[in-house]
Amino acid sequence: MCKINGKVLFVTDLDGTLMHSDLTISNSTVRIINELVGNGLSFTYATARSIVSARTITGNLDLKLPVITRNGCVLADNGTGKCLEKSVFTEAEVELLKAMLPELPACGFVSCFDGDMMFKMFLPAEHTPEFQGYLDYYKDDPGTVPATGFDEMFTGHPGYVTLIGSKDYIAPLYEKVRKYNGWESVFSKDIYRDEYWLEICPQNCTKAKSILKLKEMYGFEKIIVFGDSINDLPMFKAADEAYAVSNAIDELKDAATAVIGSNDEDAVADFLREWAKKNLQ
């Protein structure tokens, strides 16, 4: 049997790109990707989600390469959920985060590592409605842990800070933290709800830089990516080819090699299948 050219690395975003609007990956997409990966396709995903959150959706994908989670903060094994590489804040950065974000208990949590385990530490308090909705959704998640005080939100090895609220509430916090260039900060609107997220992670932890790391590690010759949102823009710029789904924001479409079908039409899987037909070795 002819094999697919494995020297091209394909990387897709999850939410709004590979995933349908109902937060699932279709059986058809799973089948197509698993067949292609089994025949040599080099494929992975990059997401702001944690590996635990991602695997509730991607668990049926049989991926050979590390997956990029927490916007590049963590490389993980999609099959086992094990963290392969992770980045954390320095002690000085933790103290700076505490000083800069006194609002954090009201609107967010800190992802902290203890070995390979990650815990989302939040403080029981009066929360923004948007963050309270997040907590209500994850109320049965054992990895979402209440802290007894502000300092305990940064227990263990903190590696990621997430704040959720209205645009008017979160935008000033973004303007404050983005002035420090020792970490990465992403401010974006949630694609499913009318709320905004500010995500902060250690320096050089981006989807784009993690993709380039995989390229070097495995000797890939070319990178092709798929996305829909503003946090996909850096990886679009780093890739040789970049494809926006039709439901993507206009800014991403403008930066794309081309626009394909929508996430609800399994556009990424269809693109991969057609590409593979043309690139058998």
pLDDT higher than 80, residue 263: yes
Cα 145 to Cα 124: distance, rounded to the nearest angstrom: 10
Which of 3-7, 189-193, 242-246, 272-276 comes out lowest in average pLDDT? 3-7
Q: How confident is the model at residue 279 (pLDDT cuts 50, 70, 90)?
A: confident
Answer whether CATH 3.40.50.1000 is correct for domain 8-86+206-278.
yes
Tokens encoding 123? 């403080």
Residue 281's pLDDT is 55
Residues 132-153: pLDDT tens digits? Answer: 999 998 888 888 999 999 999 9
pLDDT higher than 70, residue 128: yes
Cα 190 to Cα 170: distance, rounded to the nearest angstrom: 12
pLDDT higher than 80, residue 3: no
Residues 236-247: pLDDT tens digits? Answer: 999 999 999 999
Cα 65 to Cα 42: distance, rounded to the nearest angstrom: 7
Q: Span 208-232, mean pLDDT?
A: 94
pLDDT higher than 60, residue 117: yes
Q: Where are the domains of the chain?
A: 8-86+206-278, 91-202
Residue 1's pLDDT is 45
DSSP strands (E only) in 142-193: 144-146, 157-165, 183-189
Contact by Cβ (8 Å): 70, 48: yes
Residue 265's pLDDT is 97
CA distances from 108 to 103, 123, 278 (A): 8, 8, 46
pLDDT higher than 50, residue 111: yes
Q: Which CATH number fits domain 91-202: 2.170.150.70, 3.40.50.150, 3.30.497.10, 3.30.1240.10?
A: 3.30.1240.10
Residue 2's pLDDT is 56
3-state helix, strand, coil in the chain (%, to 5): 40, 25, 35
What share of the chain in percent tops pLDDT 90?
80
Residue 77's pLDDT is 95
What is the enclosing helix (H) or strand (E) of 252? helix 250-255
